[in-house]
Copies of this chain bind each other. A is one copy, B any other.
Amino acid sequence: MANRYDFTITPRDVDFSRRATLVSLCDYILESAGKDADALGFGLRNLIREHAAWVLSRMAVEIRRYPDQYECFYIETWVESVEKLHTVRNFIVRDAEDRVLAEACTYWSVIDIRDRRVKDLTGFPKYLECVTGEALSIKPVRVRPVRPEPAGMHRVAYTDIDFNGHANTTRYIGWMLDTLPLEEFKEKTIDRLDINFMRESMFGAVVNIACERKEETLVFSLTRENTALCNAMIRLKPNL
C-alpha cells in the first residue's frame, strides 16, 4: 500500500559537501507526505473545504547516507495507523539502486482552522481505509525541554512563512543548525533527528533557541517569550 514519489537533489538542496542537507531531506519527506495525502483524497485542498488542515506534531528521521547533488532517489510512504487524535505516516527513502538512504516516522493531527481544535480522525471512514498497519522500528521520541545558555535567536520573516501562513516546519530545523559552528558539519554527520512541534510561529515572532550538548547528542528548545514552540534532538556521528 506504499506509494512511491521520485525526486532529484538540486544544487539548492546541498551544503558545502555537495550532499543534501537534513533540511532539504526533510523537505522532500514532507513533500511526499503532501503528495500522498492528496493522492488518497486527504490533501490540503480536500481538507480546506471542511475548514481543516494537517498539523505535524512529531517527526523522527534516521539517515544512513545523504544523497549527492543531482542524485535521483525516491520515497515510499504509507499510513501506519489512525487513532482519535493522531495518525502515523512512515517513509523509506531509497537511492536508484533501492538501497535505504533514510527512514522516517511522523505523527499528524487534523485541526479545524477556525478554532485550531484537533478533529477526531476516526470520523473519516475513507481515511481508515488507507491504514496499512505496517510499522517501522523508528518512532519519534518525546524530547524534554532544556534551559541552558541561549544559542541564538531568530525573528520570523517573510521567507519563513509558508502556504499555511506560519513558519514552515523545516525552517525550525534550519534555525537550530544555524546556531552551530561550521566545523560541526565538517567533522560530523547528523544521523538522527527527533522533533516535537507544540506551537506555530507567526510573522514577526522572536524565537529563542537554546541548546544543550550531551555527548554526541544536541538537544534544542525553541521558545517565544515563555511559550514552548518546538523541542528537538539531533544525534551526530563523527565522520570516518
Question: Which residues does chain B contribute within 8 Å of A157, judged by CB atoms?
Answer: 177-179
Check: A81 CB closer than 8 A to any chain B CB. no
Check: A174 CB closer than 8 A to any chain B CB. yes
Contact check: which of B159, B165, B204 meets A23 at CB < 8 Å? B159
**Chain A residues near B (Cβ < 8 Å):** 10-12, 14-16, 18, 21, 23, 27, 30-31, 34, 69, 157-163, 165, 168, 170, 174, 177-180, 182, 185, 203-204
Question: Which residues does chain B contribute within 8 Å of A203, judged by CB atoms?
Answer: 182
Contact check: which of B15, B158, B160, B174 meets A162 at CB < 8 Å? B15
Question: Which residues does chain B contribute within 8 Å of A180, judged by CB atoms?
Answer: 158
A158 contacts B182, CB within 8 Å?
yes
Contact check: which of B12, B18, B30, B159 meets A31 at CB < 8 Å? B12
Interface centre among A14, A16, A31 (most CB of B within 10 A): A16
A177 contacts B159, CB within 8 Å?
yes
Question: Which residues does chain B contribute within 8 Å of A174, judged by CB atoms?
Answer: 159
B170 contacts A15, CB within 8 Å?
no
Closest 8 CB pairs of A and B: A157-B178, A159-B174, A182-B203, A18-B163, A16-B165, A158-B177, A12-B27, A16-B161
Question: Which residues does chain B contribute within 8 Å of A177, judged by CB atoms?
Answer: 157-159
Contact check: which of B31, B158, B163 meets A178 at CB < 8 Å? B158
